[in-house]
Structure 1
Amino acid sequence: MNRRALLGLGACAAAVAACPALAQGSDKPIRFILPISAGSGVDAIVRAAAPALGKAFGQPVVIENLPGAGGITGAAAIVKAAPDGLTLGMVSNNHVINPAVFRKMPFDAINDVTPISVIGATPLVLVANPKLPAKNVQELIALLRAKPGGYNYASSGNGTILHLADEMFLDEAGVKARHIPYKGTGPMMTDMIGGQVEMGVIALPAVQQHIKSGALRAIGLCGAQRSPAAPDIPTIAEQGLPNYAVEGWFAVIGPAKMQPADVQRVHGAVVAAFGSAEVREAMDRQGNVIRPTTPEQAASFFRSEAARYAALVKKANVTLE
């Protein structure tokens, strides 16, 4: 082998060493598993960020929807994957709620995953059919108090974050209403608009057009602060329930036992992607708030949220087989 060939090989080796993505094989795609159906809020978030994620990783990003069992099906696929940084997932509140709701779990939602970052949150909003004679929180509470159990509220399913957000409201207000669970937000929203059920909590991006058209009435935002995407909608907290605060967060995770270097590499790419101008703009349009955490903060957050929802599930007596 002549001197020129050796120099050429040395240059190639230096280029690979300087690019972590190439060193790990840029021909291998990043598999992003979503434990929810296409068209949901988290699905829209990841698909909007997919081009920026591919650029940040230096590798193709393939999104795979694996819905089922309240998110357990997709999460199980993440848990079983090799901890090499090539299989990741985006999960939401339901991931830490499920252990308190289901009698049996095929994995440990806390210890069998590697939290990478809690990326941000989607505002939730309590809405009502406009025929319901209540325009704000205090009027709704008075209505429910006058007729205990006489009104219905919808959710996207037993034990979901939307169900628990409703239960939290009823608990804080000291009132009662009947729960009508649906299989997803689509049919739930259709029946709220049609008047089959009077009210329910839902993600702001999913329902904002119906609020603007008058098909549904916004009673109050569920978060601690108003949303820049809907600044005219007051929070439930500022309408007399100061301890009420819940939002739909979303987080990137990987399988357990990922190497620290892989965790940092993935974290850096994810933060870079969601910090890019195009993704920020897309998130603003959807009404999402982006505030990425460190892996350590994400792990602590998962544990605290699991404890918080476990207490609420027990109080609401929600249990699934």
Structure 2
Amino acid sequence: MAASAIALTLALPAGTALAQGSGRPVRLILPISAGSGVDAIARAAGPALGKSLGQPVVIENLPGAGGITGAAAVAKAPPDGTTLGLFSNNHVINPSVYKKMPFDAIKDFTPISVIGSTPLVLVVNPKVPAKNVQELIALLKAKPNSLNYASSGNGTIIQLAAEMFLDEAHAKARHVPYKGTGPMMTDLIAGQVEMGVVALNAVAPHLRSGTLRAIGLCGATRSPAAPDLPTIAEQGLPNYAVEGWFAVVGPAGLPPAEVKRLNMSFAKAFTSPDVLEAMKKQGNVISPSTPEAAARFFQSEAARYAALVKKANVTLE
């Protein structure tokens, strides 16, 4: 098991959810590094998931290749409900970015639920002399390609969100990809790179401490977790809007009864009072979907990002 994995073994009262689950541990794979937005979400919901599933939950980070490494582990797992994945936008972006994939991002997985969304925020190192969108655009245009923007990897939603900003602003900056959000944040704070897009829940402590400066939220509306932080759209780029989402999936071939059980268990956990409060503090919006709605959502998001990837001209081997 990866060093970053945390076993959440929960003591359950007799006659509770254990009667519904097999009792065997559930391996919840996150195809991203520790310290990312989805990682914070999974850790906050872990105890409630164990209770609602009636099974111990082991959260395991398997980053690499923009999420392909972790997703491949889910695709290869037996369809018995003991191996699941908590995926984000990257899962449906990758087919448009990579020329070769070890699996089919749609056919080799069973959608269980799109759990919710999380706000993204454009940040800069404090040494950058820009405090809002218009000042940053002016700086980028005055010195084309003089600033570097970081991402958690080539072709990720983090890179595409930054590329979309540059496209809307008609500006240029150099891309510096990292192997995950953790090392990306380290270099952003140290000033090795000047700007980047990060999940709000992952960067909030650094905004409060002043080690990073927020330029604007990437979503269409402000976040209750940061009501004073304006969106990029309201600062002069009205067509700019992108946010992260997170969904639970299993391998292809999960029995319908197990899909229903898992869907209900995840919905129960994420709408429990403690988890809802934790999600609110992180700025996440929780609205668990049905498996059928999740399947339709994956298809529509794959088509949407295919167009964005083509526009940004992002292609990897």
TM-score by length of 1: 0.89
For residues 212 and 100 of structure 1, the distance between their equivalents in structure 2, rounded to whole angstroms, comes to 36
1:203 equivalent in alignment to 2:199? yes
The answer (yes or no) to whether the contact 2:33–2:181 under 8 Å persists in 1 is: no
For residues 203 and 23 of structure 1, the distance between their equivalents in structure 2, rounded to whole angstroms, comes to 35
Structure 1 position 289, deviation (Å)? 1.7
Single out whichever of 250-259 and 126-135 deviates more from structure 2: 126-135
> Aligned runs of 1:257-276 on 2, under 5 Å?
257-276=253-272
Instruction: Return the match for 1:69 from 65, 71, 74.
Output: 65
Instruction: Return the match for 1:311 from 289, 298, 307.
Output: 307
**Structure 1 residues 186 and 83 mapped into 2: Cα distance closer, same or farther (>3 Å)?**
closer
The answer (yes or no) to whether the contact 2:20–2:53 under 8 Å persists in 1 is: no
Deviations 1:161-197 (A, max 9, x none): 1111100101111211111222222332232233332
Q: Which residue of 1 aligns with 2:6?
A: none
Q: Which residue of 2 aligns with 1:281?
A: 277
**Pair member with larger Rg:** 1
Gaps of 5+ in 2: 1-14
**Structure 1 residues 23 and 245 mapped into 2: Cα distance closer, same or farther (>3 Å)?**
closer
Q: How many residues align?
A: 303
Structure 1 position 24, deviation (Å)? 5.6
1:110 equivalent in alignment to 2:106? yes
Structure 1 position 132, deviation (Å)? 2.0
**Structure 1 residues 60 and 196 mapped into 2: Cα distance closer, same or farther (>3 Å)?**
closer
Q: Which residue of 2 aligns with 1:234?
A: 230
> Aligned runs of 1:85-234 on 2, under 5 Å?
85-234=81-230
Structure 1 position 68, deviation (Å)? 2.1
For residues 41 and 50 of structure 2, the distance between their equivalents in structure 1, rounded to whole angstroms, comes to 14
Deviations 1:60-81 (A, max 9, x none): 2222322222211211121122
**What percent of counterpart residues are identical?**
75
TM-score by length of 2: 0.90
Structure 1 position 56, deviation (Å)? 0.9
CA RMSD of aligned residues (A): 1.9
Structure 1 position 277, deviation (Å)? 0.8
Look up the equivalent residue of 1:22 and give its one-letter code: A
Structure 1 position 113, deviation (Å)? 0.7
Q: Which residue of 2 aligns with 1:13?
A: none
**Structure 1 residues 24 and 228 mapped into 2: Cα distance closer, same or farther (>3 Å)?**
closer
For residues 259 and 23 of structure 1, the distance between their equivalents in structure 2, rounded to whole angstroms, comes to 15
Q: Which residue of 2 aligns with 1:45?
A: 41
> Aligned runs of 1:15-30 on 2, under 5 Å?
22=19, 25=22, 27-30=23-26
Gaps of 5+ in 1: 1-17
